């Protein structure tokens, strides 16, 4: 049922009028209930519970407000109570022989579902009222208070945080069919027990539920669906997702005429893309069949089977292995089996939600001791490789027939004599002269490297830019060797932000303060702040002055940073030097201080480093990872 542009005005009346209100706005009420109900109940149980809550919200004659506001209040109260105790399973509606699940969507919907799952029920209720009924904050807090929420303001703040996390897309995403329990997929419940191989495409066809229908029977199972020992989760949609006949593929030129440039628009490539037997083995490995397949998910990536038929990106023979690349909207999967029959097959999984023109530009197809080979996105017009430790050297062009690169040297796991990176340029059909760098950190998708230059005098705040220019290459020449510490952490992108320049005492030159931020696919950010005195070159990142994990520091959500460290001047004297970002009005350093964003205080060698920065309004902030009072 389509969502109306604004909530209806409350009306009062008889029980018959209340039923009219409920039926008229059934779709809106069921969507609100579905968003508030706990995700742990699973798709089937949550769909039925949403309809159950709304159908039971019809008031008895004379039992209170019969208008929309009163019915919605009863829906909220019941859905919030369901978070604390289980709803009665015998109540109508019930379904026999079928399982229900909302429509399957893309990466934005998956991200929204994950964000909702991390919210407490009152915050989900605040988000539902904001998105579905478009209530102002004051009315949301009043509705939550009426439903017995002890701290409506906190719930509203948590909901606002999720809307910010979704980059303002909450309204559009939460109004899609993925969050509409009135439009569901119907699946049989017993396919796994039958172990049949017949096609079940009709079982996963989308069906619009009549909003006033009562579906009578007994519910099958309950709670969260479990993964079987030899197969995919206990829903037929997952079984259909593992049928090679159902694999999807984007048209060859879709990438050149879309506003969403990511893995969803990769066409299927490779000489074995029609090999049903190979594709079936790859899908069964993803579904959990066969203990001989070694499954390796990257950090923060789930290994569960796809919920819907994935897209085929590639199937072909590469470096002695048959390789299949698949994408399910949230992850890329790489299946590889030896061609000579020796050894076991492997399945690598990497999270790729919110990928874009740069982070969806390449996938590892083969990694051997001799190097790594990539499959490049169809929008890559030019590819090359360069060494970060030699910024003055030109990029070496690469031939990429069929999108496959030659084997490229791996960044050293031990020493750091070189740090090879991919240098790519996008087609002018989607963006003009967009060049960028990617580096291999040992996972399925390479990592995007960017650079934020030092602030200029009187210039506005700088934004991250591609690290292909002279300043970006010079910066990464110094910090390249620190990238090795990020291997295996599910990193999506790394930015080097030169947030301050500081003239040093004793006319010792100018130091640069750099915050290196690694953003993971899971959303966490790890930062290290470097003090870089003059006179050092490539491979010398400087002194680590501060650091933190799982922080917003040095991102657009954490734009204020400060750090300090001890530095020995050429004449042998010791100083505590410190620098803050552009909004720093004053620094307190080791018992001294200074106005402005930089400070240097002469100290003894044993003096501890303690730095506090202050904004113009007097509010303080401390280095990343420092304890707060």
Q: Give 504-562 as a 3 state SS string.
A: CHHHCCEEEEEEEEEEECCCCEEEEEEEECCCCCCCCCCEEEEEECCCCCCECCECCCE
Pick the residue with more confidence: 276 or 84? 276
Burial 466-480 (b: 16+ CB within 10 A, else e): bbbeebbbbbbbbbb
What's the pLDDT score for residue 358? 96
Read off the pLDDT of each residue in 195-208 and give the average, rounded to a whole number: 37
What confidence tens digit (pLDDT) does each residue in 405-433 have?
A: 999 998 876 678 899 999 999 999 998 77
Say if strands 362-368 and 294-297 run parallel, antiparallel, or are unpaired. unpaired
Phi and psi at residue 123, in whole multiples of 5°?
Answer: -70, -40
CA distances from residue 615 to 588, 595, 598 in whole angstroms, order as listed: 12, 11, 13
What confidence tens digit (pLDDT) does each residue in 482-540 have?
A: 999 999 899 999 999 999 999 999 999 999 999 999 999 988 899 999 999 998 788 88
Q: pLDDT-based confidence at 181, cuts 50/70/90?
A: confident
What confidence tens digit (pLDDT) does each residue in 424-472 have?
A: 999 999 987 799 999 999 999 999 999 999 887 555 567 899 999 999 9
Pick the residue with more confidence: 231 or 568? 568
What's the pLDDT score for residue 194? 38
Flag whether pLDDT at 276 surpasses 50: yes
Q: pLDDT-based confidence at 298, cuts 50/70/90?
A: very high
Say if strands 447-452 and 491-503 run parallel, antiparallel, or are unpaired. parallel
Confirm if 426 and 438 have CB atoms less than 8 A apart: no
Which distant-in-sequence residues (6+ apart) come within 8 Å of 192 by Cβ?
228, 231, 234, 239
Residue 56: CB atoms within 10 A of its CB come to 14
What's the pLDDT score for residue 391? 95
What's the pLDDT score for residue 219? 27
Pick the residue with more confidence: 552 or 177? 552
- Distance from C-alpha of 587 to C-alpha of 623, rounded to nearest angstrom: 12
Flag whether pLDDT at 9 surpasses 70: no
What confidence tens digit (pLDDT) does each residue in 59-81 have?
A: 765 555 668 888 899 999 988 88
- Distance from C-alpha of 206 to C-alpha of 184, rounded to nearest angstrom: 6
Averaged confidence pLDDT in the chain: 82
Alpha-helical segments (H) within 367-499: 470-479
Confirm if 222 and 89 have CB atoms less than 8 A apart: yes
What confidence tens digit (pLDDT) does each residue in 205-235 have?
A: 333 333 333 333 222 233 323 333 334 334 4
- Distance from C-alpha of 542 to C-alpha of 558, rounded to nearest angstrom: 23
What's the pLDDT score for residue 168? 54
Confirm if 294 and 344 have CB atoms less than 8 A apart: yes
What's the pLDDT score for residue 180? 78
Alpha-helical segments (H) within 363-492: 470-479
- Distance from C-alpha of 452 to C-alpha of 447, rounded to nearest angstrom: 16
Share of the chain above pLDDT 90, in %: 49
Round to the nearest angstrom and report the end-to-end CA distance of the chain: 51
Look up tokens 């919030």; give the residue: 80
Can you tell me whether residue 34 is helix, strand or coil?
helix
- Distance from C-alpha of 184 to C-alpha of 477, rounded to nearest angstrom: 53
- The least confident of 214-228, 250-264, 365-379 is 214-228
Confirm if 319 and 407 have CB atoms less than 8 A apart: yes
Q: How many CA atoms lie within 13 A of 181 on its CB side?
A: 29
- Distance from C-alpha of 88 to C-alpha of 205, rounded to nearest angstrom: 29
């Amino acid at each position: 049922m389509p969502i109306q542009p604004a909530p209806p005005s409350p009306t009062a009346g008889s029980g018959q009028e209340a039923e009219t209100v409920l039926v008229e706005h059934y779709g809106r009420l069921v969507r609100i209930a579905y968003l508030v109900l706990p995700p742990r109940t699973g798709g089937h149980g949550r769909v039925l519970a949403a309809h159950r809550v709304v159908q039971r919200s019809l008031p008895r004659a004379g039992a209170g407000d019969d208008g929309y506001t009163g019915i919605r209040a009863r829906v909220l109260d019941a859905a919030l109570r369901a978070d604390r105790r289980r709803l009665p399973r015998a109540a109508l509606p019930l379904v026999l022989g079928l399982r229900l699940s909302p429509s399957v969507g893309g990466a934005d919907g998956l991200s929204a579902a994950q964000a909702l799952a991390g919210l407490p029920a009152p915050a989900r209720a605040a988000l539902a009222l904001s998105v579905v009924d478009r209530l102002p904050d004051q009315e949301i807090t009043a509705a939550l208070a009426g439903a017995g929420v002890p701290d409506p303001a906190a719930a509203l703040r948590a909901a606002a945080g999720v809307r910010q996390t979704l980059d303002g897309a909450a309204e559009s995403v939460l109004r899609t069919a993925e969050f509409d329990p009135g439009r569901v997929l119907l699946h049989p419940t017993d396919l796994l027990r039958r172990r049949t191989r017949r096609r079940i495409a009709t079982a996963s066809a989308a069906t619009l539920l009549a909003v006033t229908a009562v579906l009578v029977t007994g519910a099958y199972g309950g709670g969260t669906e479990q993964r079987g020992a030899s197969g995919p989760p206990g829903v037929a949609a997952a079984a259909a997702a593992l049928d090679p006949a159902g694999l999807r593929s984007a048209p060859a030129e879709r990438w050149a005429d879309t506003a969403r440039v990511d893995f969803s628009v990769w066409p299927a490539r490779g000489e074995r893309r029609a090999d049903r037997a190979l594709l079936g083995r790859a899908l069964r490995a993803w579904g959990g069949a066969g203990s001989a397949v070694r499954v390796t998910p990257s950090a923060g990536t789930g290994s569960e089977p796809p919920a819907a038929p994935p897209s085929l990106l590639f199937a072909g023979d590469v470096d002695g292995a048959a390789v299949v690349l698949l994408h399910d909207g949230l992850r890329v999967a790489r299946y590889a089996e030896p061609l000579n029959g020796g050894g076991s097959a492997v399945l690598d999984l990497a999270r790729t939600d919110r990928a874009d023109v740069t982070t969806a530009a390449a996938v590892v197809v083969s990694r051997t001791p001799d190097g790594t080979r990539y499959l490049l996105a169809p929008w890559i017009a030019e590819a090359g490789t360069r060494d970060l430790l030699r910024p003055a050297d030109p990029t070496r062009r690469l031939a990429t027939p069929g999108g496959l690169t030659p084997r490229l040297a791996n960044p050293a796991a031990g020493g750091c004599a070189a740090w090879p990176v991919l240098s790519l340029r996008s087609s002018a059909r989607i963006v003009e002269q967009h060049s960028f760098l990617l580096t291999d950190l040992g996972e399925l998708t390479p990592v995007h490297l960017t650079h934020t230059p030092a602030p200029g005098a009187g210039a506005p705040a700088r934004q991250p830019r591609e690290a292909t220019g002279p300043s970006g290459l010079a910066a990464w020449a110094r910090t390249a060797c620190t990238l090795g510490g990020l291997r295996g952490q599910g990193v999506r992108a790394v930015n080097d932000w030169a947030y301050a320049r500081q003239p040093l005492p004793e006319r010792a030159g100018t130091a640069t303060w750099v915050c290196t931020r690694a953003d993971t696919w899971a959303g966490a950010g790890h930062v290290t702040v470097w003090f870089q005195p003059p006179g050092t070159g490539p491979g010398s990142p400087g002194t680590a002055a501060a650091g933190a994990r799982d922080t917003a520091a040095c991102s657009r959500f954490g734009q204020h940073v400060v750090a300090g460290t001890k530095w020995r001047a050429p004449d042998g004297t010791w100083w505590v030097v410190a620098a803050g970002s552009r909004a720093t009005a004053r620094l307190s350093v080791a018992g001294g201080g200074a106005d402005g964003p930089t400070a240097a205080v002469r100290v003894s060698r044993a003096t501890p480093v303690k730095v506090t920065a202050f904004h113009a309004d007097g509010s303080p902030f401390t280095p990343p990872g420092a304890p707060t009072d």
